Structure 1
Amino acid sequence: MNWGKGILLSIIAFIGIIMTMVVISVRMDGIELVRDNYYEAEIKYQDQIDKEASTLALDREVLRYDIQSKSMILDLPVGAKGNLQLFRPSDASLDKALQIEITEDGKKQVSMADLKPGYWRVQLNWTENGIEYYQEKKITI
C-alpha cells in the first residue's frame, strides 16, 4: 500500500466515525431541558430572589425532610397556601405538584414513601400574610 491509499482510507474512516456519531446523537431520546418554559423562568428570576430573601428573614426552617418517616414536614401558619413541587431531574415523567393549604395548627407532613428512590428537589412556594415565599430542599430517598 502506498501513502495515497493510506491517507484516503484514513479520511474515509474519519468521515465514517463522524457520521456514526451524528446519527447516534440525533436518535438519542431523553434529552430534556430542566423546565419546559426555561426562558420565561429566567426572566422572572428576580421575583424568585425576592421570595428567597423573604424566606431567610423568617428565621425558621419551613421545609424539612424526615428520613425515618420518609416525609416532608412543613412548618407553616394557619391560612398559608402554596404549591409543593417534587422535581426529579433525571426523569421529568416522575415530577409531581401538590397544592398545600394549612387549615389547622401544627406541622403538616407530606409522605414521600410512594416516590421512586433517588435524588429529588423539593420546591415549596407559598403565601403567608400576603407575602410570597420560596424554599427548596435537595433530598435523597
Structure 2
Amino acid sequence: MTDYFKQLEIRWSDLDPNFHLRHSAYYDFGAYSRISFMNEHGISAEVLRNANIGPVILREECMFRKEIKFGDQVKINLRIEKTNDDFSKWTMVHEIWKNGDALSAIITVDGAWMDTVHRKLRVPPKTFKEIFSIISNNTGE
C-alpha cells in the first residue's frame, strides 16, 4: 500500500463563527481528496462519463479530534479500508492532519459505483480496482 496525501489550504470561507474549520469543510476536503486521487490516476470525469459510471456515497461520518484554524498547515490522506471482491462497494478512510503531527479528524466513507444510465449499482471496470489497490489496506470483505 502506498500513502496518498493531498496538501490543503484553509480559506477564510472554510471557517465558522468560532474561527475554526466549519464541520462541512471536512467533508469537502474528503471529496476533494477522493476526486484528486482518481484524476491523478486516470479516472477523470471524461472516463467516468464514457463508462456511464460514477461513485456514490452510502454513508459518510467524521470524528473530530483537534480543531483546525486559519493558518494551520493541513494535509489529508486517503486509503481503501475494505472492498468487496469485485470492488462494487468500498470503504475509504481519510485522516486530516494539521501542522505535520496532529490528527484532527477521521472521515469514513462507504460507497459504491452507480450506472449513470440505468441508475443502479454496478461493478466498475477492472482498471478501477487496480488503481485503487495502490491505496488499499486489503481487498475483499
TM-score by length of 1: 0.28
Asked which structure has the greater CA Rg, the reply is 1
Q: Which has the higher strand share?
A: 2
Q: Which has the higher helix share?
A: 1
